[in-house]
Amino acid sequence: MNAVPLPSDAHVMPTYGRLPVALSHGQGSWVWDTAGRRLLDGLAGIAVNTLGHNHPRLVAALQDQVTKLIHTSNYYRIPLQEQLADKLVELSGLANVFFCNSGLEANEAALKIARKFGHDRGVESPEVIVFEGAFHGRSIATLSATANPKIQAGFGPLVPGFVRVKLNDIAAVEAAIAAHPGVTAIFLETIQGEGGINPARIEFLQALRRVCDQHDLLLMLDEVQCGVGRTGKWFAHQWAGIQPDVMPLAKGLGSGVPIGAVVCGPRAAGVLKAGNHGTTFGGNPLAMRAGVETLKIMDEDGLLANAEAVGATLRKALAEGLAGEAGVIEIRGQGLMLGIELDRPCGVLLTRALEAGLLISVTADRVVRLLPPLILTHDEAHQIAALLVPLIKALLAEPKP
C-alpha cells in the first residue's frame, strides 16, 4: 500500500501488531486512510462504532455537550447518568446501573459483585463458573476469568476462584456446582467474541437461568461485544427470553466514546453500597450524552431491525459465495456479529483484506470476524461479501500449512 509517511511510533509501547495504515476520517460505514484511500469498515472499531462514522446527530450532540460539561465527578448527581440508567433499565427489565469506562471495568465490577454476593451469604471463598473460549478482559482478575493461555502467559499467578467448564454443556455446569459449594455466580458471554463468535445456545441459556434460580446463584451475562443491538435485539440474551442478574455492557453503547456499564437485576442490585466500588471518569457527562444519544438514534432509526435484516443479507451472501468450499468449517453468529471459521490459520487475511479495501478482524486464529456498524446497508453487505469471498477462496486454494 502507498501510505504517506507517518511520524515515528518509536515512543509508543509496542503492545499491538498494527497494520501498515493510519485512518484519517470516516463517513457512514466507510473510512479513509491518510493516503486518501476509501475502505469499507467491516469491523466498526471492534463492535464500537454503532452509528458508523461522523453521524450528524451524534456529532452535534457531543459538540453541544463539550461546550457544557465534559467531566465533573461522582461526588455529585449527574442527570445524564440518571437518564441513561433509566433507559437501560427500561430496555433490559432490570433494576439499576453502575457506569464505568470500558468492558474490562464492567466485567471487573461484575466479578466484585459476585464475590460480595457470596460473602454476604457467608461464603468464605466465593467461586465463579466461567467457560472455555471465554474472553472477559486483560486486568489480572478478568484475565483469570478468560480462557486464552496466550494472553495469560507471563502474568501469573492468576487470581483464584474460577471454575472453568465447557460452553453449552449444562451437565458440566451442574457437576461443577456440586463439586464446588462456594460457587456464587455463572459468568459467560452470550456470544463469545474473541473466542471465535461462539454463541451460547438458547436452550443452554434457559437452563442456566433455571440452575441459578434453583441454587440462588447470579447469572452474569457479558454483553460487552454482543449487546446494544448488534444481534437484532437490544441484548443478545433476549433471543432466549431470559433475564440475567448482572449484565456488563460497553463497546457500542457510546458509539466510540469510552463507556462501560453494569446493569443489575433485583438479586444483584443491592450488593454494592456506598464505598464498595467507584470510578473517577465513569459516568461522566460526555460519555453519558454519547450513550443517551446512541440509544435514541438506534430507536428512532430502527437499527435493531436493520442489524437483523442486513446481517441476514450478509450471512446469505457469504454462504452463497463460499458454498462448496471444503475449507469453510462454519459461518455462525447473529445479526451483524458474524464469524467464518476456516480449517487453517487465516491471520494473513487482515492485510489482504486491507489491500482489497476492507477492514475485518481475525480471532481465535482461524475465524474471520465481521462486526460492521449497525447502519450498514444491504448494498454494503453485498460489497463486504464481494471483497471478502475471493480472499477466502484464494487462501483456501493455497497449500494448507
Q: Which residues are annotated as a binding site for pyridoxal 5'-phosphate?
A: 135, 222-225, 280
Indicate the annotated binding residues for N(2)-acetyl-L-ornithine.
138, 279
List the one residue out of 360, 317, 359, 309 whose CA is nearest residue 335.
Answer: 309
Which residues contribute to the annotated binding site?
135, 138, 222-225, 279-280
b/e 25-40 (16+ beta carbons within 10 angstroms → b): ebebbbbebeeebebb
CA atoms of 51 and 28, how far apart (whole Å) = 7
CB of 252 closer than 8 Å to CB of 241: no
Contacts of 294 (CB under 8 A, 6+ apart): 50, 51, 58, 228, 252, 253, 254, 255
Q: Alpha-carbon distance 260 to 224, whole Å?
A: 8
The continuous run of DSSP H or E covering 183 comes out as: strand 183-189
Packing angle of the helix pair 202-215, 170-179 (nearest 10 deg): 20
Element (H, E) at 315: helix 303-322
